[in-house]
Amino acid sequence: MTPDLMEEGARRAEVHAARKQVEGKTESGGRAAGFSRIATPGEVDVTHGRILYLEDVSVSFDGFKAINKLSLDIAPGELRCIIGPNGAGKTTMMDIITGKTRPDEGTVFFGSTIDLLRYKEAEIAQLGIGRKFQKPTVFEHLTVFENLELALKTDKGVKASMLFRLDSAMSDKLAAMLHTIHLADSITRLAGNLSHGQKQWLEIGMLLMQDPKLLLLDEPVAGMTDEETARTAELFLSLKGKHSLMVVEHDMSFINTISDIVTVLCDGSVLAQGSLAQVQADERVIEVYLGR
Amino acid sequence: MTEAVSLPQRPAVLTRKGWSAFIVALLVVCALAPLLNLVVPQDSAFHLSDYAVGLLGKIMCYAIVALAIDLIWGYTGILSLGHGVFFALGGYVMGMYLMRQIGRDGNYKSDLPDFMVFLDWKELPWHWALSDSFVATLFLIVAVPGFVAFVFGYFAFRSRIKGVYFSIITQAMTFAAMLLFFRNETGFGGNNGFTDFKRIMGITIATPSMRMVLFVLTGLALLGFYLFGRWLVASKFGRVLQAIRDAETRVMFSGYSPLPYKLTIWVISAIMCGVAGALYVPQVGIINPSEMSPANSIEMAIWAAVGGRATLIGPIIGAFIVNGAKSWLTVSAPEYWLYFLGALFIGVTLFLPNGVVGLVRKLRGKGEAS
């Protein structure tokens, strides 16, 4: 190795270190986007400032285009609300993201490196995408505690489940979650005996136990009392920043409380996007969804 | 930090009361029954007749099957109407060994089993190669039903076949297997199957003490499988199974892949049936393709339903109730047995969705409340 090369190397290292200092708080958390960065399998790469990309996604059922050239992206830590008339493709979009439905064409990426179309439902859940269904789905014959315990982020193989034992860190996490979702006094109740609103909360709790990076929530406050809705809004606002959330709702006052950016879907593609006030003023949105 | 919550402990395999009952059952099987049968004189009121030993031994085999069905149906929600195949496969493996144990004592005084001589076969077919070894037989009793279940289950579960479609396919499987075993050229004795067993491990099979040994082994297998089943359902694995039964999509979106879970319990269940079949054959002295008839497999599901699904103890009770009634009714009023079975199934479905165990629990719950 010649002296020039060593000098050259030292100079480059200096420049690199200096650049690292300058680049402070960016959306990507200060990490340099660039070539030759190592992509770790299974790790979500958000250096480009987007945690979810959908591009030109289309899917049709028996000739009916449920999703039509849909393009949408979500930033890390964002809370995005999706509204739209019935049949706009909101649930189908979530089906595509979570691997339940395969699109006919288009690309779906989680971060910059993970092509979601190559994974199955369970794998997508383990990558860090949690989903709440429109109708609350909990394990009715298991207790509240067991429901949360099953959702807990851990090795989910057969052997690991047979030998599973709750350690103290997990217990703390479970206990904290029971408080967060206001079910601490119903630990041993069967989930099937909970009220509708409590089931919704339990399901949200189960999602959070998985420690997801992106949460897809399909009508999370449907059937909740006003008080429960207010508490849910509070919870979501506290999650914002730590997790990315995509919320499908019809409850406008709820959206008003939590939303930054609202996306309006119609006929399987994005009709309008902006703050709630902006989209509410949009002529086309009024036409198809809000009504005059 | 939030105030402490007392989280429930991992459920015990058995409660204290459960353990005492278990030990009592163990003593009854291993000590009391042999004592009453072999030591107490025949004219005593306490004597356990050979007929009763045979019948109870047979029913205990059925109870193992009911237990296996409870794991796959009661806990995982997958109704199999083809478990007779696994039972019969275990039985056939044992039957092949017992046929070879006859040696030259058959009607034709040949090295080959009688039915092969009758078919004019000159040598043993390839799939009989291991039938002379008892150790290999023990291995195959587990491996054959396990392997068949694995292949069938893998393709069925991977294709996400569920509910009634799965049940129908299992019926088709057992029917197809029955037709296959009926044929002479498959080398399983055709419609006569295997019978006229003489010895097991060189010991004469038809002696009271040998019968007792088989009875005790069956009892131990039943109790062992019960304990194993308890352990399974008390683990997180068991709760995942119940979760699959209640909301499979939620299980997937919680990060569990249902396929390995379903496949594991399906294979475990099949192996249990295989072991039951292997214990059954030397006790009843015959195995033939009718064990694989679709009706047999349906009856097995009825045992579990009558006793109470997802309770483990229920199906064992159910197997005893239904088969006890069967052995009594087929003697006293044979023409009514099938009507009785049908009525029982309808009655249980309509009025006792949780079976006998559910009824007892309900009555006890009411008693405590008042």
In chain B, domain spans: 16-48, 61-295
Under an 8 A CB cutoff, do A166 and B7 touch? yes
Under an 8 A CB cutoff, do B256 and A175 touch? no
Closest partner residue to A121 (CB to CB) among B6, B240, B253 is B253
Instruction: Judge whether residue A24 has pLDDT over 60.
Output: no
Instruction: Check CB contact of B245 with chain A, cutoff 8 Å.
Output: yes
Rg (CA), chain B: 22
Instruction: Check CB contact of B257 with chain A, cutoff 8 Å.
Output: yes
Instruction: Check CB contact of B186 with chain A, cutoff 8 Å.
Output: no
Under an 8 A CB cutoff, do B260 and A126 touch? no
Under an 8 A CB cutoff, do B256 and A122 touch? yes
Instruction: Judge whether residue A32 has pLDDT over 60.
Output: no
Instruction: Judge whether residue A4 has pLDDT over 80.
Output: yes
Residue A240 per-residue DSSP state = B
Sorted by sequence, the CB contacts under 8 Å of residue A252 that are 6+ apart come out as A276
In single-letter form, the type of residue at position B211 comes to R
Q: Which residue in B13, B75, B250, B354 has the most chain A C-beta atoms within 10 A of its own C-beta, making it the best mutation to test that interface? A: B250
Instruction: Judge whether residue B11 has pLDDT over 90.
Output: no
Q: Which residue in A119, A135, A141 has the most chain B C-beta atoms within 10 A of its own C-beta, making it the best mutation to test that interface? A: A141
Under an 8 A CB cutoff, do A145 and B264 touch? no
Sorted by sequence, the CB contacts under 8 Å of residue B258 that are 6+ apart come out as A122, B157, B244, B248, B251, B252
To the nearest whole Å, the CA of A279 is away from the closest chain B CA by 32
Mean pLDDT value across residues B348-366: 88
Mean pLDDT value across residues A199-226: 91
A26 against B293, higher pLDDT: B293
What pLDDT, on the 0 to 100 scale, is given for residue A26?
A: 47
B339 against A19, higher pLDDT: B339
Q: Which residues of B70-109 are buried (b: 16+ CB within 10 A; e: fewer)?
A: bbbbbbbbbbbbbbbbbbbbbbbbbbbbbbbbbeeebeee
**Mean pLDDT (chain A, rounded):** 87
Instruction: Judge whether residue B195 has pLDDT over 80.
Output: yes
Written as six digits, the tokens of A205 are 């709790």
Q: Give the pLDDT confidence of B303-338 residue by residue, as tens digits.
A: 999 999 999 999 999 999 999 999 999 889 889 988
| Percentage of chain A modeled with pLDDT above 70 | 92
Contact criterion met (CB below 8 Å) for A83 and A265: yes
- Helix boundaries (H) for chain A: 3-22, 90-97, 121-127, 144-151, 158-162, 168-180, 196-209, 226-239, 252-258, 276-281, 283-285
Mean pLDDT value across residues A3-28: 73
Q: Residue A49: left (phi > 0), alpha (psi -120 to 50), or beta?
A: left
Mean pLDDT value across residues B227-241: 95
What HEC string does A183-237 produce? CHHHCCCEHHHCCHHHHHHHHHHHHHHCCCCEEEEECCCCCCCHHHHHHHHHHHH
What pLDDT, on the 0 to 100 scale, is given for residue A286?
A: 87
Mean pLDDT value across residues B285-295: 94
What pLDDT, on the 0 to 100 scale, is given for residue A86?
A: 86
Contact criterion met (CB below 8 Å) for B319 and B273: no
To the nearest whole Å, the CA of A176 is away from the closest chain B CA by 7
To the nearest whole Å, the CA of B72 is away from the closest chain A CA by 15
Distance in angstroms (rounded) separating the CA atoms of residues B232 and B211:
31
Mean pLDDT value across residues B177-205: 92
Pairing of strands A79-83, A261-266: parallel
Q: Which residues of B295-334 are buried (b: 16+ CB within 10 A; e: fewer)?
A: ebbbbbbbbbbbbbbbbbbbbbbbbbbbbeebeebeeeee
Residue B60's nearest CA partner among B225, B254, B244, B193 is B225
Under an 8 A CB cutoff, do A149 and B236 touch? yes
**Mean pLDDT (chain B, rounded):** 92
Residue B12 per-residue DSSP state = P
Mean pLDDT value across residues A38-64: 84
DSSP H or E stretch at residue B149: helix B134-158
Considering A28-42, A107-121, B272-286, the range whose residues carry the highest mean pLDDT is: B272-286
Q: Give the pLDDT confidence of B124-145 residue by residue, as tens digits.
A: 999 999 999 999 999 999 999 9
Q: Which residue of A has its CA nearest to B6?
A: A175
Instruction: Check CB contact of B344 with chain A, cutoff 8 Å.
Output: no
Q: Which residue in B5, B71, B158, B245 has the most chain A C-beta atoms within 10 A of its own C-beta, making it the best mutation to test that interface? A: B5
To the nearest whole Å, the CA of A16 is away from the closest chain B CA by 40
What pLDDT, on the 0 to 100 scale, is given for residue A292?
A: 58
Written as six digits, the tokens of B94 are 């044992």
Q: Which residues pair with A246 in a beta bridge?
A: A80, A216
Under an 8 A CB cutoff, do A122 and B252 touch? yes
Q: Which residue of B has its CA nearest to A210?
A: B254
Which residues of B are less than 8 Å from A119 in CB distance?
none
What pLDDT, on the 0 to 100 scale, is given for residue B295?
A: 92
Instruction: Check CB contact of B367 with chain A, cutoff 8 Å.
Output: no
Distance in angstroms (rounded) separating the CA atoms of residues A239 and A233:
10
Instruction: Check CB contact of B254 with chain A, cutoff 8 Å.
Output: yes
What pLDDT, on the 0 to 100 scale, is given for residue A34?
A: 53
What pLDDT, on the 0 to 100 scale, is given for residue A25?
A: 46
Task: Give A236's pLDDT tier (boundaries 50, 70, 90).
Answer: very high
Written as six digits, the tokens of A280 are 């509410």
To the nearest whole Å, the CA of A105 is away from the closest chain B CA by 23
Cα Dmax for chain B:
84
Region of poorest pLDDT, from A4-8, A17-21, A129-133: A17-21
Contact criterion met (CB below 8 Å) for B22 and B227: yes
Residue A224's nearest CA partner among A211, A215, A235 is A235
**Thinking of the domain A44-290, which architecture would CATH place it in?**
3-Layer(aba) Sandwich (3.40)
Contact criterion met (CB below 8 Å) for A160 and A246: no
What pLDDT, on the 0 to 100 scale, is given for residue A22?
A: 57
**In degrees to the nearest 10, what's the CA dihedral of A74, A78, A79, A85?**
-20
Under an 8 A CB cutoff, do A142 and B239 touch? yes
What pLDDT, on the 0 to 100 scale, is given for residue A263?
A: 93
In single-letter form, the type of residue at position B21 comes to A
